[in-house]
Chain A
Amino acid sequence: MKKVLIPFVMVAVLVAIPYVGVTAGGQAYLFGVIVPYTAAAIFLLGFLYRMIDWLKRPVPFRITTTAGQEKTLDWIPYNRIDSPATPMQAWVRILLEVFFFRSLFRNTKAELREGPSFTFASSKWLWMGGLAFHWSLLVIVLRHTRFFFAELPGFVQPIEVADRFMELTLPAFYLTDALVLAAITFLFVRRLRDVKLSVISLPTDYFPLLLIGSIAVAGVLMRYVDKVDIMTVKALTMNLAQFSFDPVPGDIGPIFYVHLFLVSVLMAYIPFSKLMHMGGIFLSPTRNLCNNSREKRHVNPWNKPIKFRTYAEYEDEFREKMKKAKLPLEKE
């Protein structure tokens, strides 16, 4: 349980830092301007460093995992997505993985039942929870563009309208707010409840979940419960979007600084953590390589050049001796 407690205490401390810093310390400028810029810089540079580092690693051979018929004779239909033959088809596989988590869809669950019998069954819960979580996060991030643009980007408005179409509360209740909290609760409980999972779970698995959960809770509180002054928030975020170092344009409730600080911590944390899967998924060799080992010869680029000797050369060297020994020759 220490594995859960440590991240929990860490997040609690991270919540307390800006709260105390702003209410007691009056450090609005630090938490409203300096910390976000620093975090954004760490995020961008760290992300770039990671991606470039990974992109530089050579992947000479096809280690793609296949789940379908490989391209072969013309009259045998092949699976274009699960055993792609061209880079384009491999990209389709990547994008389907990114948007729909097809690997998780294949998730199976092994169980030892009474009998005793060992059974495998399809388990879609992780896939559904993950999908709900990631899509909600995407919609929430897109909704936040309203803070960074003078006018909403055209495609965000329909998303926003769809998100609050239930018109339940005022300010309008966002479906994704509830979804993301439900999904993250499920993903957290899932790690605790299953013994096998809790054994392999690390503090680095719980920490991002708790961090993102706290960000969502702070955001929900700001919107529905302890409201902050949106106009000042927008003035501040527009300043941030324009890379200005002007002082914070007014008083904003401490809960906003908690939200902003946790987001900053998340941004700074991403390059050093498992959350890099957001970039790394595009580089998964088992997903992004087309399965063409039989069509094309892939040579390891750092292999030492091998001196080959053909049979023709061999025969040239020993022709006379072979003739004397009456051995059959290809060339007289």
Chain B
Amino acid sequence: MSNRISTILAFVIAVIMFVAAWFFMQSGDGASAPARAEAPVAAPKEVPIDSTRCVASTEWMKSHHMQLLNQWRHDSVREGNRTYATPDGRHFDKSLNTCLGCHASNPMFCFMCHEYANVKPTCWNCHISPMEATK
């Protein structure tokens, strides 16, 4: 009796997991129409790009860079808004190249910490990583 119930329950759980997996896979591309930016708008020329200092403090960037990058990706790819204004009035192009403009001088810049902490970012799924670019 309990054997039969456990078989049935296992089957039900398997079905639910299958449906859930399918749902999650679908919700990525099929569920909602992909948002399209009108046309990529380049940073207006008159905006001075100041890259002598980073967009935010080192402390903040250490803990929040992934959120900033994610926000930039969303803004530039989905909304077409490519200019980032810091609270103190400086302007930056919302692009990974803005970061790499300075930080690519050390091709290991991202990897030193990420390898050490065993954190695998998804950036290099699409972008060419600085480590590969200098090869």
A interface, CB within 8 angstroms of B:
67, 105-106, 122, 124, 146, 149, 151-152, 165-167, 170-171, 227-231, 234
Contacts and interface: CB of A to CB of B under 8 A. Distances in A.
Contacts, number: 33
A105 B6 contact: yes
Nearest to A127: B9
A157 to B, nearest CB: 8
A170 B116 contact: no
Contacts of A228: 63
B64 interface: yes
Nearest to A143: B118
Contact of B63 (A67, A106, A149, A229): A229
Contacts of A151: 118
Interface string B106-124: 0000000100111100100
B117 A230 contact: yes
Given A151-B118, A165-B24, A234-B116, A227 B63 contact: yes
B18 to A, nearest CB: 15
B59 to A, nearest CB: 8
Interface of B: 2, 5-6, 9, 24, 62-64, 66-67, 70, 113, 116-119, 122
A149 B122 CA distance: 22
Contacts of B119: 146, 230
B93 to A, nearest CB: 21
Contacts of A146: 117-119
A227 B116 contact: no
